[in-house]
Amino acid sequence: MCTGITYKNGEFYFGRTLDLEYSFGEQVVITPRNYSLSFTEEKTQNTHYGMIGMANAREGYPLYAEAVNEKGLCMAGLNFPGNAYYQKSQKGKNNVASFEIIPWVLGKCANIQEVKEKLKEINITDTAFSTSMQPVPLHWMIADKEGCLVLEATKKGVQIYENPFGVLTNNPPFEYHRSNVCNYLNLTSAYPQNHFTKEVDILPYSQGMGSIGLPGDMSSASRFIRAAFMKFNSKCDKKEAADVAQVFHILDNVSMVRGTVITEDGKYDFTRYSCCMNPKRGCYYYKTYENSHIQVVKMDEKNLDSSCLLFYDISTSCFPL
């Protein structure tokens, strides 16, 4: 389970939590412009936009969970079991395996308008990365400072949605989340007014009572509402440090504490890391479950004309052993 958000406060940011019961071998990985990206059916990209994100670089291939490219386009994959449905290869389509979709989009597209054109003929295939790594059921949020899309591959085919909320979680499909927001039209961050009756003077007994009814559980539908409410009502200074801290504060409100969510097979689902990307500055900020210190890798300070992947191990402990 995961939560993704966009955030704009002068500059544009893209953040997410990665909620999982195990490590997937994550590292911060920069894919420079001249690193050859091969695809199962599409042409190899020998040159492309540089990108940075969290990935497992298995066999030299950057399997990104999320990333941002040098043009400011961001993309994240979020768990979508039971609804994700990948097809066999189809003639006349851009056949892209699910594990290839993030580098394929971010390598080719500079903005959300180009993404819309590229996705018109896409077919997301069920090709496995290897016999030991079968396709992961995902849907994706794609965004830049001008807009946000949700990409879902279901039995109905590939669905592309405009996402005015700039938020995505997990099941059900995005159409449900878009409708479910209507159930929370009464929520407000303002000091609440008495609409119960005109005949009795009723006053709030506490601050924050305008948001009574905001769901607090860890289900994907509730996290969607909570993240959207926090995001739309968020206020902070227009400074990089304040903005980055604010994104992490929003994500903290949808993060999972180990032990509070137990999977069907008895494992603990928890927020392994959360991240915040500033596309304009090429910054990838992150913190892990064990290390709450915000750390950063700056893509713009690296050699993006290189032909080799750049790896940065994440620091998972803030206490010396």
Peptide linkage before 192 cis (omega within 30 of 0): no
Residue 127's pLDDT band (cuts 50, 70, 90):
very high
Return d(Cα 281, Cα 290) in angstroms, integer.
27
319 pLDDT higher than 60: no
Q: What is the pLDDT at residue 321?
A: 47
Residues with catalytic function: 2
Give 97's strand partners.
125
Cα 114 from chain centre? 19
pLDDT one-digit tens code per residue, 137-177: 999 999 999 999 999 999 999 999 999 999 999 999 999 99
Q: List alpha helices for the chain, DSSP H.
A: 101-108, 112-119, 174-180, 220-232, 240-252
Residue length, the chain? 321
Cα–chain-centroid distance for residue 140? Answer: 7
What's the whole-number mean pLDDT along residues 56-61? 88
- Cα dihedral sign for 305, 69, 276, 96? negative
Q: Are 223 and 231 in contact (CB under 8 A)?
A: no
